[in-house]
Amino acid sequence: MLISMTGFGQGEAGDQLHSVSVEIRTVNHRFLDYSFKLPRTLNSRERDIKEVIRERIARGRIYVTVSVESEAAGRNVAVNEPVMERYLEQLRAFAAAHQVEGDVDINTLAQLPDAVVTDEEEADVRSLWPLVDKALDAAIGQCHQMRTTEGKALEKDLKNRMKVVDKTVARIEKLAPGVAKRHAETFRKRVEQLAADATVDEDRLTTEVALMADRLDVTEEITRLNSHISQFNKTLEAGGEVSKKLTYLLQEMHREASTIGAKASDSDMVQHVVALKEESEKLREQVQNLE
C-alpha cells in the first residue's frame, strides 16, 4: 500500500470543563518536520505530541493546531496603559497639527486595537492532556485515511504511466537494429563514393563499420531500462516507504534515456526518447508526493 504525504485530519474531545480541537495538515517534505500552534498551556507537551505523530506518520511536513476552550476559565481584563497613552498623545498631536476641533474621549480610545486586553486563565495541563491525546489520535487517523486514499490514486496513476514507459522502450528496442544498420550502410556508400576509383581497404572499411555499429548500439541501455521498469513495478507492489527508491530508479531511467538520445541520430528514435524522458519526469513529480 502506498501512502501520500498530503492529508488533513481533525479531531475533537471534551468533558464537562474543557473542549479540545486538533487539526493536522501534512504536505511534502524530504524528512519528518513539524510546525506547531499550541496554547501556552500545552507547550510543555510538544515532545509528547511529536512522539504520537511519529508512530503513525513517517515523512512530510506536519502542521499541528490545537485549540482549547474551557468553561471553567475566567478572563482577566486589563487596560493597556502604555498603548492608550501613546494613542492619546498621537491623536492630540494630530488634532493640533491639523487644527481639528474636539478632544479624544474614553469611548474612542477603548475601541482602538489592543487598548484593552484579556488573558484567559490557563487550564491545568494534566487535566487537558487526556483530551488532547484523544483528539490527536482522531485527527491522525482521519489524516492517515486521506493519505492512504490519495496513495491509492497515485499508485494507479504511476502504474498507468509506467505502462506508457514500457511501451515506449519497446518501440525504441524495435527501431534500434534498423537504425544501426541504416547508418552503417550509409557510411559504407559514402566512403565508396569519396574513394571513387581508388582502392578501398575492405578489411579497414568493415572494421570502421563495425565500430560505428557498436557506437550506435543501445542494447545495454535498453536492458537496464527494462530492469529499472521491473524494479519500479515490484517496488510499487511491495508498498511502504517507497519514494526514495522510486526516485532513484527514475533518475537512472532518465540517464539511460539521455544516453540513447545522444547515440541516436534517427528522428523516430529521438521522438520516442523525448517521450520517454517527459514521462519519467511526470513520474518523478508524482513520486515526490509519496512517503
The full length of the chain comes to: 291
Cβ atoms of 118 and 143 closer than 8 Å? no
Confidence of residue 179 (pLDDT cuts 50, 70, 90): low
If you search the block for the grid coordinates 491509492, which residue do you land on? 152
CA distance 63 to 34: 6
Mean pLDDT taken over the chain:
84
CA distance 287 to 248: 10
Cβ atoms of 243 and 59 closer than 8 Å? yes
Task: Decide which of 95 and 139 is more confident.
Answer: 139
The grid cell for 9 is 485530519
Answer yes or no: is pLDDT of 214 > 60. no
How high is the pLDDT of residue 176? 76
How high is the pLDDT of residue 224? 93
Query: Where along the chain do its domains lie?
Result: 7-73+126-149, 75-120, 154-287
Task: Decide which of 179 and 61 is more confident.
Answer: 61
Helix, strand, or coil (residue 251) = helix
Mention the CATH class of domain 154-287: mainly alpha
How far CA 275 is from CA of 86, 100, 101, 258, 262, in Å, comes to 67, 73, 76, 11, 15
Among the residue ranges 44-48, 129-133, 208-212, the one predicted with the least confidence is: 208-212
Answer yes or no: is pLDDT of 195 > 90. no
Among the residue ranges 57-66, 120-129, 157-166, 241-250, the one predicted with the least confidence is: 120-129
Answer yes or no: is pLDDT of 203 > 90. no
How high is the pLDDT of residue 199? 59
Residue 249, classified by CB atoms within 10 Å of its CB into exposed (0-12), middle (13-18) or buried (19+), is: buried
Q: Are strands 116-120 and 75-79 parallel, antiparallel or unpaired?
A: antiparallel
Confidence of residue 269 (pLDDT cuts 50, 70, 90): confident
The mean pLDDT of 202-229, rounded to a whole number, is: 73
11, β-bridge pairs: 22
How high is the pLDDT of residue 131? 94
The mean pLDDT of 118-138, rounded to a whole number, is: 80
290, β-bridge pairs: 4
Among the residue ranges 175-189, 197-211, 220-234, 257-271, the one predicted with the least confidence is: 197-211
Architecture field, domain 7-73+126-149: 2-Layer Sandwich (3.30)
Whether this model's pTM surpasses 0.85: no
CA distance 233 to 248: 14
How high is the pLDDT of residue 147? 95
CA distance 221 to 256: 6
The grid cell for 23 is 487539526
